[in-house]
Each structure stands twice: as structure tokens, then as C-alpha cells.
Structure 1
Amino acid sequence: MSKDYQYFHDVLVAWYQGEETGSEIRKKTADFLNLEFYKEDFDLFIDALEVAIDEYNDDFGYEWEEYKEYAKDTAPTVKGLCHNIEQVLLKNLEFDEFLDWATWHNIDCGESTSGVFENDNIEEFCLVFLPKNEELITDDVLKKVLPIIQESHRMNKVEFEKKIKSLL
């Protein structure tokens, strides 16, 4: 089963934006990428995925790295954040894997890509609120935060922060 670069590009962007979780991608690519093989070597799913794609075709890995360096579409979106939260609530995604996905821009101070968040409130939620409050976030908080995230583009930063902080 041969796949072209665009297929992997779309899979990677879907993960970065949150439209597909690591679990969903593992299932989708199981016939041609052995992501379980890399699971022990990498703490982050995305690292394992990128290495697996590079080993599938090293030209794809190189092309992706070139793209990712200047990409504007490698940050969580409202739709992706809601999808990931819903998957956590459905127990299809571990909270730790959700947290890794939502906060990966913090790992290297955001220097690995030029990813631009869909709005400032999503960036605030992913990069500040989640890591600062991860111990306090329960399923109940996640259920209540969903409608706030869905309307985040209509709120100014102060209003958004007030609403999410009131959930704790």
C-alpha cells in the first residue's frame, strides 16, 4: 500500500490542528506505519509519527520538516480542540496525551514551527491555562469548557479568561 507525500502531510496537519487524535491516526495508519514500534522511544506521539513517516520515505520526512518550519497551520484549532476534549470525555484519549497535544508548542518555546493559533483565546487555553491548571482539570471542567471554546472567537481575552478560570 503506497502513500504519497500529500497523504502524510494531511495526516500530520490533522494531528497538529486536532482534527484527528493519535489514537485515530494509529488505527488509520496501522497497515503501513508501525507506530507501536516507536512508542517506547518517544514520549510524544508526534515524534513517533514523524520518525515513522521519515522511515517510510525519507523524502517525505525532509519535505515535511521544510514545510513545518514555516507552516501557519500547525497549531490547535477550535474544531480540533473541541474534538480532542470530546475524545477525552469519551475515554478514547488519555488526558496526558491530550495535554501533550495541546501544549506541544511549549516544549521548545514555540520555536519549532510558525504555527498560528486560530485565535488568542485558544492559544491562552492551550499554552497557559492547561499547563498551569492540569491538576485541577476534571471531566466536569472539560464538559463546561467546551461551549466556551466553541464561542472563543467571539470573546475578548479578558472575558474568555474570566469564564475559564471560573470553572476551577
Structure 2
Amino acid sequence: MTLMNAPVYDAGKAKRTRYALVGVGVLVAVLVVATFAGFISGHGWLFSNVYTEHRVNKFLTAIEQKDFATAYGIYQNDSDWQQHPDKYSGYSLQRFTEDWTKYSPVGEIHSHHVDKSVSDGSGTFGTTLLVAATINGDPDKRLFIAVQRSDGTFTYPAPHIFAY
């Protein structure tokens, strides 16, 4: 093909190409912003920790409402725990209820706010997620719960805490 035989300029194709490039650029920009916004706000890269934070929120809401059976199911990540209570005989519902009432280091929970979460352990997203919550609106009463990524069970107290 020579210069004299060049194809005719297709304005529609050029417009579609430009829109596609702009769209890809905007998509990449949104992805970069979402990635860092999630991390900076304390909800994990690309807000990957939000699901676990919602589980901790449901758990603490059940504790507030004194629905310890539901809270225990969330804690053990087994909503059907009552079908096989012998599986959890090492940490019974009775002991769980005592731990979250009589022996609670933050006292009785009337309100809570899940503040932040960080990944802990090895690997890209860690093996554990540490979730921090403020209890009863008192910044001196912070609760840290560890959530195992492998099986979704909770651990309290968390192996360590973080400052924020």
C-alpha cells in the first residue's frame, strides 16, 4: 500500500478508540484510588476487610442485645452450632456468656463502633485480621478481636493490639 492508496479516515473508529482509551484510563484511576482509599481508611486494600468488619459488627450487636446464642454462633463461625454442641465443649456457651458479661474487661456493652482493621500474619493478606471497636463511645474502651482468615473463627483477646 502506498501513500496514494491509504485507507479513508474513519472518524467513527477513531472516536471509539479514543473513548475506549479514556474509559480504560478512568477505570485504572478509580481502581488505584479505591485501593489506596481502603488502605488509608483502615478497611484493607480494596476494602477487602469490610466483610469481616460486618461480621464483628453483627457479633457485637448480638452481645448488646444479650443474644448470646447468636453471638456464639458468629464467634465460632457456625450458625448450626446447636446441632453439635459437643464440638465446642472446650469453650461452652455458658463460659462464653460469662466471658462477655461478668469477666468482660470493657464492662457491659451498650453500644459499639467498628473503627478499623489490619491484616496480621504472613502472606499477602495475612492469616489473621485484627478488628478494633470502640465500646460505649469511650475511646479508652477499645476492643480488639482477631478473626482467622482460614476458618472465620474469632479469637478474643487478640494476640496483640495496634494503635490508631
- Give the alignment's TM-score, normalised by structure 1: 0.24
- Give the alignment's TM-score, normalised by structure 2: 0.24
Q: Which has the higher strand share?
A: 2
Q: Which has the larger radius of gyration?
A: 2
Q: Which has the higher helix share?
A: 1
